[in-house]
Amino acid sequence: MLEAAPGASILLGGDTLEARSALFSSIAGFEENTSLATFLDDIPVDKISQRDRRRAITVLSPEIPLVRATMVDNIALGAPSATSQEEIIATASLCGLRVDGPPESSQERLEPPHVSAMQAARIRAARALVRSAAVLLIDDIDVCKDRDLLAALLARARAAQTTVIVSCEAATAGMEFDDTRLLDCA
């Protein structure tokens, strides 16, 4: 059984990256898994509406695409409507995105095929943080490779009482987590 208090950080290891990604897809409700019992605040996740589940659980993954829009608009996707432009800009900065240039620099339209993998990961990370979900599932090796970005994500999530579960163990060596779990799907 995996239990996590608000603000806890958990590292999932073992088995394969595909198995960890499948687990995350099941938790987030992208795929059904009848052999997995997942609860959010003592409520079985499969009893929570898809809409409420998506509000409560955010997945940070390269499978979540950027859209042809500005960096700020990409970050704001899925954010609560009360999220201010200042909060979006501050979160972008926290994630290492350059927003201190001319005002139009963060307002230029992104062409996703021409965005570097690291910039895309930073934009997805900022998008995940502004959503302010109760659970953040990090399944993005590019985010995990950037120790400063991952540390900023974990610190911000901990301060906001967001539970974080990270699946890219190889890139997180030496980082501190509240719990480490090894999956064994054999």
pTM over 0.75: yes
Place of tokens 């999932």: 12
DSSP state of 48: S
DSSP state of 110: P
pLDDT at 75: 92
DSSP state of 170: G
Q: 44-53 contacts: CB < 8 A, separation 24 or more? A: 53/28, 53/29
User: In angstroms, rounded to a whole number, what is the distance separating the alpha carbons of residues 97 and 88?
Assistant: 11
Tokens representing 117 are: 């993998």
Residue numbers of the chain with a pLDDT score lower than 50: none
- Assess if CATH 3.40.50.300 describes domain 9-182: yes
pLDDT at 124: 93
Give the pLDDT confidence of 71-120 residue by residue, as tens digits: 888 999 978 888 898 999 999 999 999 775 555 555 677 777 788 989 99
User: In angstroms, rounded to a whole number, what is the distance separating the alpha carbons of residues 109 and 167?
Assistant: 31
CA-based diameter of the chain, in Å? Answer: 54
Tell me, what amino acid is at 134?
Answer: A
**Could you tell me if residue 14 is left (phi over 0), alpha (psi between -120 and 50 degrees) or otherwise beta?**
left
User: In angstroms, rounded to a whole number, what is the distance separating the alpha carbons of residues 54 and 123?
Assistant: 19
User: In angstroms, rounded to a whole number, what is the distance separating the alpha carbons of residues 145 and 37?
Assistant: 30
Place of tokens 């208090």: 5
DSSP-based three-state secondary structure for 179: strand
